[in-house]
Structure 1
C-alpha cells in the first residue's frame, strides 16, 4: 500500500473514531436531554397545553415545544464541552466562544427540524402521529412526549455530526492540515 493509501486508511480510522466518540457524547446528551425533559414535564404545565396559537393554522406553540427547546439547550451545552475536549480535541486550537456559536447554530438548525418532526409526532391529526392508544401517557414508558423526543434526537443526530465536523470543529482539521503541510515541506527539504 502506498503512502496515499495508508493516509486514506488512517483518515478513515480517525473519522470512525470521531464518529464513535461523537456517539458516546451524543448518548450522554440524550440522557441529559431526557432528564431535563422529565423534570420540566413533572414540574411545569401539561405538555399538551397551548402557549400561543399560530394563527388559524390549527397548530399552536405548545409546552412540549418549550420543554424540548430547553432540554436541547442544556444538552447542547454539555455536548459542546465534551465534544470540544474529548471528541474533536479542539480546546487548544480555538477559543471557546469561537466554536460554541457555530455549534449552537448547528444545534438550532437541528432543533428547528426537530420541532417540526416533534409537532408531527405529537399532533393527533398528523399522518405520523404516535398512536394515542399505545402512547396514552399512563406511564413514562408510554409517554408520547418522551418517545417523540427520542425519535427526534435519533433523526437529527447524523446531520449534527456532519455539520459540526465540517464547520464547528474545523479549527482542529485546519491545524492538522497545517502540521501535515509542514511535515511535507520538511521532507522535501531533507531530500
Structure 2
C-alpha cells in the first residue's frame, strides 16, 4: 500500500512539473500570440471590419477572427517546439511530424472554441461582451481585442494541456521525461483505473 501511495505521489509530482513547464511555455506563447496580434492589428484593416457576412445575422467573419487565427498559428508552432524539447522532452521518442499534427489539431480545436469565445466577448449584442465604456480602444490597455484574446487564451489553455499530454506527447508518458523514473500503472480494480 505504501509503494502505491509513493507511486501516486511521484506521478502527481511529475504532472505538476509538466504543468509548470507547460505553463511557462504557454506564457511565452501568450507573448508571441499578443505581439503577432498587435502587429497584425497595426498593419491590417480595422479589426472590427467584416471580411465575410454570415447570411442575414448580426454576426460576420471579422478581421479580428483572421488576426486571432494567424496569431494562434505563429504561437502554436513556437509552443510546440518548446514543449517538444523542454516540457515533454520527446525529441527522441517520436518524430517531429508525428507530434506536430496532433498538437496542431488540438490547437485548432481550441482555436475554434476560442473564436466562439472571442466573438462572444467582442460582439456588442452578446451578454458577455466586454463593455465598450471601459474597453473603448483608446489605448492598448483599453483594447477590447487584446483583453478578449487574453481571456480566450486563459480559458482554452487548461484543455489544451490535458489533450496534448494525453495525445500529442503520449510517446513519453511515463517513460522518465523530466528526469522522473517510470511509474507503473496502478492496478485495475472493478474496471476502474486509479490515477
2:52 maps to which residue?
A: 52
The answer to whether residue 159 in structure 2 is matched with residue 164 in structure 1 is no
For residue 92 of structure 1, give the secondary structure of its aligned residue in structure 2: coil
2:92 maps to which residue?
A: 92
Q: Is the 8 A contact 1:93 1:175 kept in 2?
A: no
Q: Per the alignment, do residues 178 and 131 of structure 1 end up closer, same or farther by CA in structure 2, a change over 3 Å counting?
A: closer
Q: Deviations over 1:33-90 (max 9, x none)?
A: 0000000000100000000001112210000000000000000000000000000011
2-structure distance, mates of 1:94, 1:149: 32
Give me the CA root mean square deviation: 1.7
Q: Is the 8 A contact 2:48 2:62 kept in 1?
A: yes
Q: Comparing both chains, which one has the higher relative contact order based on Cα–Cα distances under 8 Å and sequence gaps of 6 or more?
A: 2
2:189 maps to which residue?
A: none
Q: Is the 8 A contact 2:7 2:183 kept in 1?
A: no
Please list every run of 5 or more consecutive structure 2 residues that lacks an aligned counterpart in the other structure: 186-195
1-structure distance, mates of 2:18, 2:175: 16
1:124 maps to which residue?
A: 124
Q: How many aligned positions are there?
A: 181
How much has 1:174 moved relative to structure 2?
6.1
For residue 52 of structure 1, give the secondary structure of its aligned residue in structure 2: strand
2:133 maps to which residue?
A: 133
TM-score w.r.t. the length of structure 1 is 0.91
2-structure distance, mates of 1:13, 1:43: 45
- By percentage of residues, which structure has more helix? 1
TM-score w.r.t. the length of structure 2 is 0.89
2-structure distance, mates of 1:180, 1:132: 54
How much has 1:3 moved relative to structure 2?
1.7
Please list every run of 5 or more consecutive structure 1 residues that lacks an aligned counterpart in the other structure: 182-191
2-structure distance, mates of 1:89, 1:159: 20
2-structure distance, mates of 1:9, 1:141: 42
For residue 133 of structure 1, give the secondary structure of its aligned residue in structure 2: coil
Q: Is the 8 A contact 2:10 2:183 kept in 1?
A: no
For residue 135 of structure 1, give the secondary structure of its aligned residue in structure 2: coil
2-structure distance, mates of 1:130, 1:179: 46
1:185 maps to which residue?
A: none
Structure of greater Rg? 1
2-structure distance, mates of 1:80, 1:129: 31
For residue 51 of structure 1, give the secondary structure of its aligned residue in structure 2: strand
How much has 1:2 moved relative to structure 2?
2.0
